[in-house]
């Protein structure tokens, strides 16, 4: 979490870092959610990226979790990666 309004998820996998930033209010907005799903899908479908459909599902799961009052969202990291 960067501040009360801006949230950040970083997926670190085999030397690559994928950072997703979103505002607290927009994460529950239907248009924002569709945009995020589109980005995750493009990343997962790109053979040039080391980003799998499993990685996309993990990020999507974290975004759908309720915002904690303090501290980062926590989820199990994908195989071969870690969440920062």
HEC-encoded secondary structure of 7-33: EEEEEEECCEEEEEEEECCHHHCHHHH
Alpha carbons 12 and 69: distance in angstroms, whole number: 24
CB 52 within 8 A of CB 75: no
User: H/E element holding 51?
Assistant: none
What is the share, in percent, of the chain residues with pLDDT greater than 90? Answer: 35
Which range is most confident: 2-6, 49-53, 65-69? Answer: 49-53
Alpha carbons 68 and 33: distance in angstroms, whole number: 19
The answer, as to whether pTM is greater than 0.85, is no
Asked if residue 27 has pLDDT above 80, the reply is no
* All structural domains of the chain with their residue ranges: 6-83
């Amino acid at each position: 979490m960067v501040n009360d309004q801006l949230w950040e998820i970083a997926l670190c996998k085999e030397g690559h870092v994928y950072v997703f930033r979103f505002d607290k209010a927009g994460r529950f907005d239907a248009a924002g959610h569709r945009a995020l799903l589109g980005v995750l899908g493009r990343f997962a479908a790109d053979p040039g990226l080391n980003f799998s459909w499993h990685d996309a599902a993990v990020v999507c799961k974290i975004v759908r979790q309720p915002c904690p009052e303090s501290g980062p969202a926590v989820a199990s990291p994908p195989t071969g990666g870690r969440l920062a």
